[in-house]
Chain A
């Protein structure tokens, strides 16, 4: 499957997890694409960690506002009814449990719901930005990522990279699977449009419990 198709499947499936009225924070990159696939009739309120709710689409060329960007630095818009605030308030919203769901990418995620997505020692140390607060504070943490990296599993028995947070991930959505993190371990709930159980197992290092009601992903 080509990368673009995989990313589209993931973004579409994540969008279905969001409920009307949810306050949602989308990470940079693939998670941002989720906003393009919110079903009709579902209104979600996007939070931007740099200080507002009501995040709208990226600005049209020529209509950029020098004082209005998203957390990735892109010029964006704010929807009617939105609000601006300072960084302490922004993270009170995030840490205080006022965000219903956060969608982030991952370098690694493991059986215990541990997440590593902020650094590769000696190679890439950009900083955690708001990721550690988001993962600890949001009511639901959804990891949206391609199932493997250069053919190697990213869903592991135990993360080897420095953690972003311990035991906070609730759901993992890839182009191959929807996997829920439970106290019993990782439960395979849905298969991607082109995936079999064997495919998922072959590309996952962690042990998987197959759900009794295993379904095909609806996208």
Chain B
């Protein structure tokens, strides 16, 4: 019998301490664990390093953590939809590291897959290559990009069974499956929690072994 993975949202945010590195799934708020984010905002955990595709909008999902000044450093591919992120960056309040989206995805995947890095042609000849090793393979240049991991990954699933097997819906999948593999502790917010066996093993997208805890979402 495996452990009971179901916890309250309050218990979930208790795992998140000041100064930690946290990955949060979602693309412009779609597929983000909103209930956990709201609880984080309420609790006021601070100095977090955030790894996410984007910082959504000021009033939406991850964007609220930015507005509430809980983030010390943002690692993302795009911040243009949240003016507050840009303001904090320009005024030196928050450090922002911008990474091409495909490189961000592969660096996260590499961390979860036990790889020492990945070689990508993306960013060659741009500011992205600064300070990075270039490696030539068969006459073509690549950048060595290193794995990116986190203390905690906060992800969101449409349907999750009590083993933590996750099924995502539509474009809400995005970064969630790869983040689930790249953190020491993984908490999934489930729109719907079902009994073991209710998700066909063929339809499981993130296997439950990657998931430590499950929080019941509001939707």
Contact = CB atoms under 8 A, between A and B. Distances in A.
B105 A69 contact: no
Interface of A: 48-52, 65-69, 71, 73, 78, 84-88, 90-91, 94-95, 114, 124-133, 136-137, 162-167
A49 B101 contact: yes
Give the bracket for the number of chain B residues in contact with chain A. Answer: 35 or more
Given A50-B28, A71-B27, A129-B100, 17 more contacts: A50-B27, A67-B31, A68-B30, A68-B171, A87-B101, A87-B174, A88-B108, A90-B102, A125-B79, A125-B89, A126-B79, A126-B80, A129-B101, A133-B100, A137-B102, A137-B121, A165-B126
Contact of A88 (B109, B121, B158): B109
A181 B103 CA distance: 27
Contacts of B100: 128-133
Nearest to A65: B170
A133 B171 contact: no
Contact of B121 (A130, A136, A162): A136
A88 B109 CA distance: 7
14 contacts: A50-B171, A84-B168, A88-B109, A95-B122, A126-B80, A127-B79, A130-B102, A131-B100, A133-B100, A133-B122, A163-B125, A163-B126, A164-B126, A165-B125
Contacts of B126: 132, 162-166
A86 B101 CA distance: 12
A51 B27 contact: yes
Given A88-B178, A162-B126, A68 B121 contact: no
A86 B30 contact: no
Nearest to A28: B80
B56 to A, nearest CB: 9
Given A51-B173, A94-B102, A125-B89, A87 B178 contact: yes
A132 B123 contact: yes
